[in-house]
Structure 1
Amino acid sequence: MKVGVFSSKSYDREFFSARNRNLGFDLGFLDIALNKETVELARYFDAVSVCVDDLVDSSVLRALKSFDIHHVALRCSGFNNIDLKQAHKLGIGVSRVPNYSAESVAEHTLAIILALNRKLLKAGNRVLDNNFGIEGLLGFNLRNKTVGVVGTGAIGLTLVKILSGFGCKILCYDPVQSADVTALGHNYVSLQELIKESDVISLHCPLTEDSQHMLDHEAIQNMKDKVMIINTSRGGLINTQAIISGLKSKKIGYLGIDVYEMESELANNDLICEKIPLDTYQRLATFPNVLITSHQGFFTSESLVQIADTTLRNLQYYFAGKVCDETFLL
């Protein structure tokens, strides 16, 4: 069976090819994203695999249907880039990778928190210039600080466990509460209370119509002064213009993001010799208390093995005429 792997990078080719040796799929790796301009390239495949940079809207789905393609295998947990209602209407199945090395994203989140707090990038650059002074590098202890974790799925729960070891007071918000979180002795509160009481706010929830811009101008005004905001989930969870205003007014003391609202134009691309046209990104990058990474929270060898294994297993299920309740969205 031929599978078109869109938006594939060198690491996709390496890990998918290795895990596919005993499965025998004919994997066609394409380094371009699947969208309405490129969907014609899918014509020659029996199924397609896509990731966060691909846009599988109604027009793309109709084209896939016309090519007799009935399955889209996401290589990610989020699914905001695919029109699920249209897929269901057309009889196109969708699968995803709901859990892949939650530790990788949670540990990356912690790394951003510590790097921002202790100003590690600034400190490292100073030493390279033979400046061993520590003025301007003052941080704070995480112990006894209140950390608000928004979303307590696999990644959020893992972060809660990690931060418990730092002696943080942890507040959680999630429409679906986890017994594992409460068993650890942590409390669920309303999103409004979490925003008001937290010294650090970390986002770990999917992007939906309800969660779009959950951190907006109003939410930021209700936060503590000098709050730290971390987003390693989806860029659209925060209103970037509101964040910029909060940074300018110094309401926000620290911002760490591994995702960005318009990241499909930036993430995983080497633009070192190009002018980046996104003014809001450029504005964010000017703040000394902002740390931006390029959607690399998932990027560990363990995570890539899990992504490849789950995606290929989902394709096995599809071609065998089966449905995996755990990973299939339709």
Structure 2
Amino acid sequence: MKIAVFSTHQYDQDFFNEFNPGHEITYFVLPLNEQTVALTQGFNAICIFVNDTVNAAILQKLHDNGVRLIVLRCAGFNNVDIKTATALGMPVLRVPAYSPEAVAEHALALILTLNRKTHKAYNRVREGNFSLEKLMGFNLHNRKVAVIGTGNIGKAFCHILKGFGCHVSAYDIYPDAGLQAQGIVYGTLEETLADADIISLHCPLMDSTRHMINAQTLALFKKGAMLINTSRGGLINTVDVIESLKNCHLGYLGLDVYEQEANLFFNDYSEDVIQDELITRLISFPNVLITSHQGFFTREAMEQIATITFANIDAFVKGEELLNRVN
């Protein structure tokens, strides 16, 4: 099968080449969008990532170009117009789980770094400054942590927190019986947010979850609470979060995702003037830590992404059941 793979970096190519069972692959560094969809002429399938755009107009052009299969090398599929893809008879396949521990562990890394300020200590010591002033943190043990979304990643995160001796509460429209058996208490979103020292988001981006963290829900936070998002940027209303940081209600913010990340993440703009005023404002806060969507980025996860992606493609080619189909 001829496959066009968009938004690729060298690490994508390395893992795909290693696990490719024999498909004809063409890599494009460019993202898939209105300007690049013409590149799909002559391909049977496309493979995309989190910041590629597959709206109704692009889907129609893909179909006209002969593309019959859309494969995501990620779990989220909010960037694909599923209704239009279904109407065109184009299966949309994803990688529903790839080392959920990778993202869960990165969420913990954000928490520990923000709390104990190891990033600041690292820079100080390199400059010969061994002072402990303004580096004080708090014990994670016995802290109350709210986990919003308890799918595979949220569940892995809960297990990590229990090992630290945290008091874990959770919100999910489908409570996990296994977690409940371990003593994790589910409540409404309002109840779960209200008394937490740390809130960590692990839910998909849908109409019902877009901007779930906004001025109204932020007002429920305990003053000085920490907010972590390793899921999807659109879960947070960035303007409202900046306001909460400015008035010192939100105590810490750790982001591995960002609403407008498609215009920034995975690229080097160190020699450019960044035009996104919201992220430049976020970067200016001393209690904000941002990483560029690297939560998934472990060897184990990359191997699983490649193997499951090719398994999805092979199932389509062989006419087998498409286990990871989202439409």
Query: Match for residue 325 of structure 2?
Result: 328
8 Å Cα contact 2:233-2:259 kept in structure 1: yes
Query: Match for residue 15 of structure 1?
Result: 15
Query: Offset of 1:323 from its aligned partner?
Result: 2.7
1:113 counterpart SS class? helix
Query: Match for residue 34 of structure 1?
Result: 32
Separation of aligned partners in 2, 1:35 and 1:282: 25
Query: Offset of 1:68 from its aligned partner?
Result: 2.2
1:64 counterpart SS class? helix
2:92 counterpart SS class? strand
Query: Match for residue 294 of structure 2?
Result: 296
Letter of the 1:328 partner, please give it.
Answer: R
Separation of aligned partners in 1, 2:319 and 2:54: 23
Letter of the 2:211 partner, please give it.
Answer: H
Matches within 5 A, 1:171-250: 171-250=169-248
Separation of aligned partners in 2, 1:24 and 1:235: 35
CA RMSD of aligned residues (A): 0.7
Letter of the 1:222 partner, please give it.
Answer: L
Q: Write the deviation string for residues 155-209 of structure 1: whole angstroms up to 9, x where unpaired.
A: 1000000000111000001111112211211111110011111110000000000
Query: Match for residue 316 of structure 1?
Result: 314
Letter of the 2:299 partner, please give it.
Answer: S
Query: Offset of 1:289 from its aligned partner?
Result: 0.3
Query: Given the alignment, which residue of 42, 47, 65 partners 1:67?
Result: 65
Query: Match for residue 150 of structure 2?
Result: 152
If the length of structure 2 is used for normalisation, what is the TM-score?
0.99
2:145 counterpart SS class? strand
Structure 2: unaligned runs, 5 residues or longer: none
Query: Given the alignment, which residue of 25, 40, 43 partners 2:41?
Result: 43
Please, which moves more after superposition, 64-73 or 237-246?
64-73
Q: Write the deviation string for residues 117-138 of structure 1: whole angstroms up to 9, x where unpaired.
A: 0011111111112111111111
Matches within 5 A, 1:85-124: 85-124=83-122
Structure 1: unaligned runs, 5 residues or longer: none
If the length of structure 1 is used for normalisation, what is the TM-score?
0.98
Letter of the 2:251 partner, please give it.
Answer: G
1:285 counterpart SS class? helix
Query: Offset of 1:43 from its aligned partner?
Result: 0.8
Identity %: 46
Separation of aligned partners in 1, 2:272 and 2:192: 40
Q: Write the deviation string for residues 264-287 of structure 1: whole angstroms up to 9, x where unpaired.
A: 011110111111110000000000
1:88 counterpart SS class? helix
Query: Match for residue 22 of structure 2?
Result: 24
Query: Match for residue 161 of structure 2?
Result: 163
Q: Write the deviation string for residues 278-330 of structure 1: whole angstroms up to 9, x where unpaired.
A: 000000000000000000000000000000001011000111122323x1112
2:40 counterpart SS class? helix
Q: Which runs of 4+ in 1 moved over 4 A?
A: none
Separation of aligned partners in 2, 1:195 and 1:228: 11
Instruction: Count residues in correspondence.
Output: 327
Q: Write the deviation string for residues 234-279 of structure 1: whole angstroms up to 9, x where unpaired.
A: 0000000011001001101100000000000111101111111100
Matched, 1:54 2:52: yes
1:41 counterpart SS class? helix
Query: Offset of 1:56 from its aligned partner?
Result: 0.2
Separation of aligned partners in 2, 1:305 and 1:79: 20
Letter of the 1:255 partner, please give it.
Answer: L
